[in-house]
């Protein structure tokens, strides 16, 4: 799958996960440097808000918006995933009053999550970072929704994600 950055094509490694597939296992780092695994969310729905970096305005907006929406989601944990360092993620959440989502970093496990989920950009100015995407995994570990933005500078489809969660 490919996306764009400000209208210019960007290639993405791997195949973007699709609804109906089993969610690939992952290990990501939490703010305290402990590990969060896919299995840690068993029995809950997981909404993965995947993005390049909290240091961009659109990424920051998506985390703020999903933080607001998280309080309306039943049996759902919102995971905000990037390659930002956990320290930077924690600093952002503290400064912004973000308390309803879990921020996760792939700084330690770079070779698995991005390629397994098909979100790591392989060229363009943000080469090596994640393409903006939302993936929803049900209580049984199946992908029930996946959407990558047409352009990395676009916000994710919040309404589409919320609609998928209401099913």
Kindly list the distances between the CA atom of residue 9 and the CA atoms of 15, 123, 129, 145, 151, in Å, as whole numbers in the listed order: 16, 9, 15, 24, 9
Query: The domain containing residue 83 runs over which residues?
Result: 2-153
pLDDT at 14 (0 to 100)? 84
Q: Which residue in the list 59, 121, 143, 165 is annotated as catalytic?
A: 59
| Position 158 in a domain | no
Q: Decide if 87 is inside a domain.
A: yes
CATH at 15: 3.40.30.10
What's the average pLDDT block by block, 10 residues per block, for the chain (167 residues)? 86 92 94 92 92 72 72 82 85 71 82 89 92 93 94 89 84
DSSP letter, residue 39 = G
Has this prediction a pTM greater than 0.95? no
What DSSP assignment string belongs to 85-106?
Answer: -HHHHHHHHHHHT--SSEEEE-
pLDDT number for residue 165: 83
Question: Is 165 within a domain?
Answer: no
Residue 33 lies in a domain: yes
Looking at residue 111, what is its pLDDT?
64
Joined together, the tokens standing for residue 145 give 């929704």
What per-residue confidence (pLDDT) applies to 57? 63
Q: Write down the pLDDT at residue 120.
A: 93
Q: Per the domain annotation, does 159 fall within a domain?
A: no
Q: Is position 59 annotated as part of the catalytic site?
A: yes
pLDDT at 151: 92
Structural domains in the chain (count): 1
* Contact criterion met (CB below 8 Å) for 106 and 79: no
Please give the pLDDT value at position 122.
93
């Amino acid at each position: 799958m490919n996306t764009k950055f400000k209208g210019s094509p960007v290639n993405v490694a791997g195949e973007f996960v699709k609804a109906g597939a089993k969610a690939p296992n992952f290990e990501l780092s939490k703010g305290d440097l402990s590990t969060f695994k896919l299995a840690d969310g068993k029995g809950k729905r997981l909404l993965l808000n995947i993005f390049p970096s909290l240091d961009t305005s659109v990424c920051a907006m998506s985390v703020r918006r999903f933080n607001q929406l998280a309080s309306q989601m039943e049996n759902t944990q919102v995971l905000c995933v990037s390659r930002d360092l956990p320290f930077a993620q924690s600093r952002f959440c503290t400064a912004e009053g973000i308390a309803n989502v879990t921020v996760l970093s792939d700084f330690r496990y770079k070779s698995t999550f991005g390629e397994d989920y098909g979100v790591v950009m392989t060229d363009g100015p943000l080469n090596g970072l994640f393409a903006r995407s939302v993936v929803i995994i049900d209580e049984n570990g199946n992908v029930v929704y996946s959407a990558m933005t047409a352009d990395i500078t676009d916000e994710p489809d919040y309404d589409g994600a919320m609609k998928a969660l209401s099913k």
